[in-house]
Structure 1
Amino acid sequence: MAVRMVFPNYAVEEIARSTAFYEALGFTRNPDFSDETTSCMTVSDEVAIMLLERDRFDGFLVGDQQRAPRGSLENLLAMLLGSREEVDAFGAAGAAAGGTLSKPVEENEWGMYGGQLTDPDGHIIDFFHMEGPPA
C-alpha cells in the first residue's frame, strides 16, 4: 500500500477567515474541492488541509461520534520547513494573519529551530527546520 496524499480535516468557525489565514501562510486554495463551507488548502503535492465549517465537518461523523469541543486538542500538525528563514517568515505570517505564536521561535535541544502557531480556530501547527538528524 502506498499513501498518495494526506488530508488533515479541520472544523472551523468561519471559512473565509480560516481560508485567509492559511493563504497568508503561503498555501493555495484549490477551487475544485472548495465551496462556500469548505476550503481545500494545498500545502504540497502530497498534503492538503481541508477546512470545513463546523456543520459540514459534523456531516462526516458517523454514529455517536462527536467533534471535540473547542479548546480540546484533537491533533498537532508538524511541518518541516526548508530553512531557518522560512521558519521566521512562517511564524511572522501566521501571527500577522490572526494566529498566535503559542511557542516562540527558538532553537531546541534536538537541533531544531522552530515554534508553534495556533490558528484562529485553535488548531496547532508545529513548524521547524533542522539541519540533520538529532545527535
Structure 2
Amino acid sequence: MAVQMVFPNYAVADIARATSFYEALGFAKNPVFSDEATSCVVVSDQVAIMLLEHAKFDEFLTGEQQRAPQGALENLLAMLLGSRDEVDAFASAGTGAGGTLSKPVEDNEWGMYGGQLTDPDGHIIDFFFMEAPQG
C-alpha cells in the first residue's frame, strides 16, 4: 500500500478566520475542494489540511462519535521545515495571524530547533528544523 496524500481534518468555528490563519503561514487554499463551510489548505504535494466548520465536520462522524470540545486535544501535527530561518518566519507568521506559541522557539536536546503553535481553534502544530545526521 502506498499512501498518496494525507488530509488532516480540523473542526473550526469560523472558516474565514481559520483559512486566513493558514494562508498567513504560507499555505494556499485550493478552491476546487473549498466552499462556504470548508477550506482545503495545501501544505505540500502530499498533505492538505481540510478546515471544516463544526456542522460540516460533524457530518463525517457516525454513531456515538462526537467532535472533541474546545480545549481537548484531537491531534498534534508536526512539520519539518527547511531551515532555522523558516522556523522563525513560521512562528512570526503564526502569531501575527492570531495563533499563540504554546512552546517557545528554541533548541532542544534532540538537535532540533523549533516551537509549538496553537491556531485560533486550538489545533496544535509542532514545527521544527533538524540538521541531517552526520555519519
Q: TM-score range by the shorter chain?
A: over 0.9
Structure 2 counterpart of 1:79, one-letter code:
M
How many correspondences in the alignment?
Answer: 135
Quote the Cα distance in structure 2 between the aligned partners of 1:99 and 1:52.
18
* 5+ long unaligned stretches in structure 1: none
Kindly report which structure 2 residues correspond to 1:119-130, keeping only aligned pairs within 5 A, or say none: 119-130=119-130
Match of 2:44 in 1: 44
Structure 2 counterpart of 1:15, one-letter code:
I
Match of 1:15 in 2: 15
Other structure's SS at 2:87 match: helix
Structure 1 counterpart of 2:77, one-letter code:
L
Match of 2:112 in 1: 112
* 5+ long unaligned stretches in structure 2: none
Structure 2 counterpart of 1:63, one-letter code:
G
Quote the Cα distance in structure 2 between the aligned partners of 1:123 and 1:134.
34
Return the TM-score normalized by structure 1. Answer: 0.98
The CA deviation string for residues 13-67 of structure 1, in whole angstroms up to 9 with x for no partner, is 0000000000000000000000000000000000000000000000000111001
Runs of 4+ in 1 over 4 A off after TM superposition: none
Match of 2:66 in 1: 66
Other structure's SS at 2:44 match: coil
Matched-pair contact (CA < 8 Å) for 1:111–1:134: no
Q: Which moved more, 1:92-101 or 1:125-134?
A: 125-134
The reply to whether residue 83 of structure 1 matches residue 110 of structure 2 is no
Return the TM-score normalized by structure 2. Answer: 0.98
Quote the Cα distance in structure 2 between the aligned partners of 1:123 and 1:68.
11
Quote the Cα distance in structure 2 between the aligned partners of 1:104 and 1:131.
19
Structure 1 counterpart of 2:98, one-letter code:
G
- Per-residue deviation at 1:130? 0.2
- Per-residue deviation at 1:132? 2.3
Structure 2 counterpart of 1:84, one-letter code:
R
Matched-pair contact (CA < 8 Å) for 1:5–1:45: yes
Matched-pair identity in %? 78
Quote the Cα distance in structure 2 between the aligned partners of 1:53 and 1:30.
16
